[in-house]
Structure 1
Amino acid sequence: MGIREKTQEIVNLMTVEEKAQVCVGKNFWEIEGVSRLGINSIKVADGPHGLRKQSADADHLGINESVPATCFPTASLLASTWNRELIHKMGNALARECVAEDVSVLLGPGVNIKRSPLGGRNFEYFSEDPFVSSEIAIAWINGVQELGVGASLKHFAANNQEYRRMLIDTIVDERTLREVYLSSFEETVKLASPSTVMCAYNRLNGTYCSENKWLLTDVLRDDWLYKGVLITDWGATNDRVKGLTAGQDVEMPGVNDENIHKIISAVESGKITMKELDGTVGRVVSLLLEKNNNHKSDFGNFKAEHHKLAREIASEGIVLLKNDGILPLSKNDKVAIIGNMAWSPRYQGSGSSFMNPTQLDTVYECLKSRIENDEGVYFSKGYIDDDIINQQLVDEAVSVAQSASVTCIFVGLSESYESEGFDRTELTLPKSHENLIKAILHVTSNVVVVLSNGAPVCMPWKEEVSAIIEGYLSGQAGASAMLDIIFGDINPSGKLAETFPEETEVSQYFKGSKKSILYKENIYVGYKYYDRFGGKVAFPFGHGLSYTTFDLWDNEVIINYADGIFDGVTASINLSNIGHRKGKTVVQAYVSAVDGKVHRPLKVLGQFEKIELEANESKRITLELKKRAFEIYNTKTKRWHVEPGRYNILIGFSSVDLPLKAQIDIPVEMSDGEVELTKADQFYIQSYDQRLQISDQEFLELYGLQAHLDDIYNRQNYDLNTPIYEMRKTIIGSLLMLVIKVGVKVNMRKQKNAGMKKMIASIIEEVTLRNLVMMTGGIITHKMTESFLVMSKNGFFTGLRHFLKKSDR
């Protein structure tokens, strides 16, 4: 009997109570089974760059310790490998470790778009470009799932900031959603079929993602034909009954049985039909049956192998941003290693993905083991604290630099600068790091700056140094990989999957109230914004240098047809390594609509391929650009649309280094026809010659959207999602704030990680009454929070009567 038939048999045997139970997590890290029928619960665990299975007290923020597992590089570096096969291998490794720890579903990957370089969780997302994001995610998921472990694609959808992420209303027009923020999810769902998709915390155009029927059912299930299980992010459920009818399958975590009773009551009253409930239950039971077949294996058999793989991945994702010829270093160079990050590396993000590595390489220890004696290598920490300049350490570092022929300065962003839970306000490096670089540049220009950070930083010294290496957050073997690059054991091949701005120039992003954020930049995100509206770029999307030189020539583009209709193009080019050593590069193909009527980016990435060539080797490369690269989303017909007209196919090594161009013409009869211009088209086309300026009200009127633009919380309009901080002037609000602050202080005392501390502190102003249920493990119930709400609006005794009246169920 197949899983489909077995599923139906089990669903038919289940009681309404059992059906309701599988719709709510068994506990913090398990999806409930059906024990009476022999269906076990299954375990899930955080990812996505390594297994974070907590061995003791559970929490969703990464506060408590987890079992040792391989810490691979974070998503920002994974994307900069542009290597599908390598990420697939990483997926296999992650799956083996999950099986070893009896974990059935790994919570990752995250494919949310990097809307702004200031996003606090950008290290956990792949790219500003949906094509790169989906291609890397597909490889990751296929690698995980082919060994029987499920993936959980997250965070669905438009979850692009950490500030007030649990209650912010993301206001986005449909075309922007489809072309930018949903596109990476769409392709990944269609081509990788992740076992689960995870709902985001935020609202989307007025409705929480966890109960947004348009998002969960109309788009995900009906448009994309997704058959898997929809789970919530931990604590993302707003209304469990509305969530279920909208398409949400499993609420995570399970903290008490209140929502189980609500589902049962809703079935009895007819708010939930038995067909709706059985549809949800059927999907969950299918997942349980599929994942109950996994067998635990021995992790120790592949620990060393996975560390080696982590080193290989890091070496392919490290990006050489600048090099005037100083790299790679030779054995004759007298090298100064300066910067505390050479001793205490920043190698992973902070928050729910923070994990316990099986081992950890450091530049200092790895370099000591590479050299026979200390001659020719000098060390100095240069700084300890991020924001306090220790002049004695700086003077010592300057002295060391004067003794060396080449100085490598290790700097970056510490945990307190970027983490889940809060966003950055500037792109600058810590004060002590910047000061150290400037001080050393006073005595030598033979400086290599090595960066450890999860997202772009400003580099005001960029023109003064000899080389810059972007190491990102490179995992437990990142230090070894970095030394492989610096000393030339490996030829760098990483390419940026995001734009590095020249300065903190994000005024067009992240503007909004405490309640709503308006995506006024429309489809112009990342390189698409800078292409269309200008702005200073330090390093462009797709950029990355090598120790060899590549050349492209002799391009040919052929149009593909499907039943006489345009179906993409095949581009063929010659790639040559004209340098003196073997190396890899990424050939990138972009599509530019020359005379399309609809407003659109100047170009979009259509395809890429990572190629390795020996010195003086040439190879004919073929790139298949799918139809989607030429399409826009037609909001009037509600479908994807190819405009007729001329298109340029631009091929090269970054979004601004595109030496080859070929032109094609798509006649009306091969296209989807002319598109009727919308008001938005007319507005943006008129604005092309200027920097994009649009008021909040104009934006809302242009798309027929609504949003709360004020920051005022009126007492009579309080609800369960009003931050308790905003209720602090009420008696119950002040008492709850006192409890929250005490809880924050207790948790902060447990922490040594600065990012964790800052993340914990950030919740003080963002905790809502609804959040209290999960945060207390169900000790505070939904009934209590409803009564607290009445107390805040109508007084203590009115709220107490409300609680007593409602306490019969």
Structure 2
Amino acid sequence: MKSSIMPINEASPLSIDEQLNLFAGRDAWHYPAIPSLNLPAMQVADCGHGVTLVAPPYGSATCFPTSVGMAATWNQPLIEEVGQALGRETRAKNCRMLLGPMVNLHRLPCGGRNYETFSEDPVLAGKMASAIIRGIQSEGTSACIKSFACNNQQFNQKNISAEVDPRTLRELYLKVFEIAYREGQPWATMTCYNPINGEYPGDSQTWLQGVLRDEMGFDGFIVSDWNALQGEGAIQSSVDMEMPGPGKVLTPERLRDALELGLVDEAELERRLQRIIELYEKCEPARKGERYSPPELDSPRHRSIALRAAEEAITLLKNDGALLPFDRTRIKRLAVIGPNAANARLGGGGSASVSPFYAISPLQGIRDLVGDSVDVLFAEGCSQGSNLPTVPPEFLSPVDGEFGQGLTAEYFQVDHFLSDEAPSVTQTNGQIDFSWGWASPATSLPRNDYVVRWSGKLRLPAAGQYRFSIATQEGIGRVDFDGETVIDCWSDFDPTNFESAYANRAGEFAIEIDAPRDVELCVLYRKTKTRGGMHFGWETPFSQDPIEAAVELAASCDAVVIAGGLSNQFEGGDCDRKAFALPGCQAELIRRVCAANPRTAVVLKNGTPVDYRDWLDAAPALLEAYYPGQEGGTAIARVLFGEVNPSGKLPDTHPNNWEEVPCMQFYPGENGKTEYGEGLMVGYRHYDAAGVEPVFPFGFGLSYTTFEIGVPKLSGALTEGSEIEVSVPVANTGNRAGQEVVQVYLEWVNPPAGRPPRALINFAKLALKPGETQTARLAVHYRDLLTYNADHAAWELEHREFNLCIGNSSRSLQRIKLRLN
């Protein structure tokens, strides 16, 4: 039926049909073009610690530390540099919007996407998000802050409603957005999947117009998360773009009907249209004569920023007897052990998966740093799961190569593999132990459908029985010995079967030989759904228990590094962690290796805290590296050997157990709801209120030098609407240059029930030479004192007695009284 309505804007050069086709995407990864205004379709890219292209031309990008690691730097100027690099790389990919950062708070210690968000605290998260947003947008690329709001768990996230009281909402879960809007001014916001108090924000006029626009003052572009709109409510909700396209809700037909029925007026659609045009024009800087840096990808500058971010993220949590830094002149043999030693773990699973041009593992980083001066020996010790030990490179030879190098690895697009075309990428892989998650394993490959073929020779060096295994993640696999298939997890794949595509597969094969021999080896893997990964393991007649082998190696060396933790097999999009303990036999490995060699340092890679109870007392030194990005191995090595003084501080409280964390009693929820019954008692707020000592407190991190924080002073009394300055001298009293983070907390005197004693309001990071003193100067604003009164629906000064607490963690503070006029 032809509509009788007038164009939304009679003066617009756009026809009514062109206007009504602008409110939904062109396809999965493009916003529609506006030909009348000479504005091309806008391609968007995913992720917040790199650029992930999920549509052609695919390709790789620089992989920075994930957001939890960025927050651990507590360094806003550095993270703004990361943002600038991301802005340049996004444009280098011919994209104009990066769908990040994600800023939702770490409410749960098991949260699957904690690794790609910043912190448990809204001030730290909001300020770090603001820094990366400013950086991205300073290069003419739009940031898109997400996911509005309360997207704090992955379990059943599309169906379970976050039930949150108004005060908790505004003082925690909306405050992080409010800070980012005020200090970062993002051009775009993405809605969330989950309902809040029974309403899906993308479909809710109350949430998008009432809270986001009217209350919080956001006047930019709003896009739905992919397939997050539920129904007709989105027509009235103030969402500007439905994704992916073609739309299902914001279609021209439905919008015409809504106009005729008076469900939405022309003025509202005109406002949305103008927001879309303004976004496009911001991302077309040449139109306004603006000049930005040229697009840039995988440059020395970006590699340097990635390295510095990884170095400043690494947090020294324990260093008994000043074991670290290691002295290269006193170490001749170094053992590097653990399931994360030979792998560069880059993040949890999910859409925030980056395919770097290269990635450096801790083992490679250490070998590159020490060169020939130290004999660096490797033992896996244990896997992250129940797999057989990984077949090591010394028994593998690539095609036309030598044993010790690994295997020739050919990476194909599926159709190219099936038609016997050339691979997209050929390289050498030392061993087959990969967990790529949602990312592409190599440049120029799509991330959802690829084949990897490893080929070369396998050496069986002794007579006896061998057992081999493969384990796939959401894929199929096969092993051929001398041209004969010996493990087949490939031929029964049914691409039309939903469950078959998502299945993980495992297979084994045993062979007994009378004499040593070499085998022509071919191993295949094809990804069939979302998470990709492949492991090839063995058990040999000369095999020791892998932990025992690691213990013997450790005992024979001058020092040991154990690299353990998590990977995208255990946390990520749609995957909250199932258990607190380190996966596999890592706790036993750490205990036994530390007993065999007391000069052992443990390095963790993970996005969420782990269980320390079974092994921390045994480990003399502990570094938290988070997921440190492509330069992580180099950064870890430089910190271990003192080339860099660690300066990271924890962005989360590390609990003794999950049971003591109050939100866990409400997780995952029931009857379609998850109650935020802990209220404001999240992270350190709970520990301070309950008087419980965590394993490691929020804001904590050691150094190779020592600092002294002096007596703080206030510049005056605080009055309504104003700000004052707190200044505090900080001295480096040690013999190494280092960086210290000064943290300022507002403390309520005699807080009422339900109010935690204190909350972070500001912080600053100082770089100090040995013997140097600097003064940290931090603003305290009147708004920092306000709390939300749900009865009045307003921010008010509900208390008048405060202290300012200044220190270098939430548990190491000195107090001064805050005066009000």
SS at match of 1:620: strand
- Count of equivalent residues: 649
Query: CA deviation digits over 1:653-709, x for unaligned, max 9?
Result: 100011x2101343xxx4xxxxxxxxxxxxxxxxxxxxxxxxxxxxxxxxxxxxxxx
RMSD (CA atoms): 2.2
Aligned to 2:79: 87
Q: Distance in 2 between matches of 1:595 and 1:310?
A: 44
Aligned to 1:477: 631
Q: Contact 1:500/1:540 (CA < 8 Å) preserved in 2? A: yes
Q: Contact 1:568/1:630 (CA < 8 Å) preserved in 2? A: no
Q: Contact 1:100/1:297 (CA < 8 Å) preserved in 2? A: no
SS at match of 1:621: strand
Cα displacement (A) at 1:313:
0.3
SS at match of 1:284: helix
User: Could you tell me the TM-score, scaled by structure 2's length?
Assistant: 0.76
Q: Distance in 1 between matches of 2:817 and 2:201?
A: 42
Q: Contact 2:789/2:795 (CA < 8 Å) preserved in 1? A: yes
1:16 and 2:27 equivalent? no
Q: Distance in 2 between matches of 1:364 and 1:603?
A: 42
User: Could you tell me the TM-score, scaled by structure 1's length?
Assistant: 0.77
Alignment of 1:614-633 (within 5 A): 614-633=769-788
Q: Distance in 2 between matches of 1:620 and 1:581?
A: 19
Aligned to 2:712: 555
Aligned to 2:358: 359
Q: Distance in 2 between matches of 1:99 and 1:377?
A: 41
Q: Contact 1:81/1:316 (CA < 8 Å) preserved in 2? A: yes
1:426 and 2:579 equivalent? yes
Q: Distance in 1 between matches of 2:723 and 2:377?
A: 56
Query: CA deviation digits over 1:570-590, x for unaligned, max 9?
Result: 211111110011000101111
Q: Contact 2:591/2:619 (CA < 8 Å) preserved in 1? A: no
Q: Distance in 2 between matches of 1:438 and 1:156?
A: 43
Aligned to 2:138: 146
Q: 1:9 to 1:244 in 2, by over 3 A?
A: closer
Residue among 578, 587, 598 paired with 2:742: 587
Unaligned runs of 5+ in 1: 1-6, 57-64, 671-809
Residue among 645, 652, 674 paired with 2:807: 652
Q: 1:300 to 1:576 in 2, by over 3 A?
A: closer
Q: 1:514 to 1:424 in 2, by over 3 A?
A: farther
Identity %: 33
Q: Contact 2:311/2:646 (CA < 8 Å) preserved in 1? A: yes
Q: 1:256 to 1:535 in 2, by over 3 A?
A: same
Aligned to 1:198: 190
SS at match of 1:336: strand
Cα displacement (A) at 1:20:
2.1
Cα displacement (A) at 1:50:
0.3
Residue among 660, 667, 671 paired with 1:510: 667
Residue among 277, 298, 309 paired with 2:305: 309
Query: CA deviation digits over 1:162-182, x for unaligned, max 9?
Result: 011112111101000000000
Residue among 325, 339, 345 paired with 1:328: 325
Q: Contact 2:120/2:651 (CA < 8 Å) preserved in 1? A: yes
1:175 and 2:332 equivalent? no
Aligned to 1:247: 238
Aligned to 2:386: 387
Q: Distance in 1 between matches of 2:163 and 2:249?
A: 32
What is the identity, as a one-letter code, of the residue corresponding to 1:121?
A: R
SS at match of 1:422: coil
Alignment of 1:787-802 (within 5 A): none
Aligned to 2:99: 107
SS at match of 2:742: strand
Q: Distance in 2 between matches of 1:566 and 1:110?
A: 30
Q: Distance in 1 between matches of 2:296 and 2:13?
A: 41
Aligned to 1:540: 697
Residue among 214, 220, 227 paired with 1:222: 214
Q: 1:320 to 1:566 in 2, by over 3 A?
A: same
Q: Distance in 1 between matches of 2:625 and 2:671?
A: 34
Aligned to 1:406: 559
Residue among 314, 319, 322 paired with 1:318: 314
Query: CA deviation digits over 1:121-156, x for unaligned, max 9?
Result: 100110000000110011100001011110000000
Unaligned runs of 5+ in 2: 1-6, 390-543
1:521 and 2:678 equivalent? yes
Q: Distance in 2 between matches of 1:598 and 1:440?
A: 47
What is the identity, as a one-letter code, of the residue corresponding to 2:708?
A: D
Q: Distance in 2 between matches of 1:520 and 1:385?
A: 34
What is the identity, as a one-letter code, of the residue corresponding to 2:559?
A: V
Q: Distance in 2 between matches of 1:436 and 1:15?
A: 68
Q: Distance in 2 between matches of 1:302 and 1:163?
A: 35
Aligned to 1:448: 601
Cα displacement (A) at 1:247:
1.1
Cα displacement (A) at 1:245:
1.1
SS at match of 1:89: helix
Q: Contact 2:142/2:186 (CA < 8 Å) preserved in 1? A: yes
Q: 1:11 to 1:27 in 2, by over 3 A?
A: farther
Cα displacement (A) at 1:503:
1.7
What is the identity, as a one-letter code, of the residue corresponding to 1:425?
A: K
SS at match of 1:442: helix
Cα displacement (A) at 1:566:
6.3
Q: Distance in 1 between matches of 2:749 and 2:293?
A: 56
What is the identity, as a one-letter code, of the residue corresponding to 1:323?
A: N
Aligned to 1:60: none
Q: Contact 1:500/1:537 (CA < 8 Å) preserved in 2? A: yes
1:466 and 2:465 equivalent? no
Q: 1:589 to 1:375 in 2, by over 3 A?
A: closer
Q: Contact 1:511/1:518 (CA < 8 Å) preserved in 2? A: no
Q: Distance in 2 between matches of 1:133 and 1:568?
A: 21
Cα displacement (A) at 1:388:
4.5
Cα displacement (A) at 1:534:
4.2
Q: Which has the higher helix share?
A: 1
What is the identity, as a one-letter code, of the residue corresponding to 2:349?
A: S
Residue among 766, 781, 804 paired with 1:611: 766
What is the identity, as a one-letter code, of the residue corresponding to 2:233?
A: K
Cα displacement (A) at 1:604:
0.4
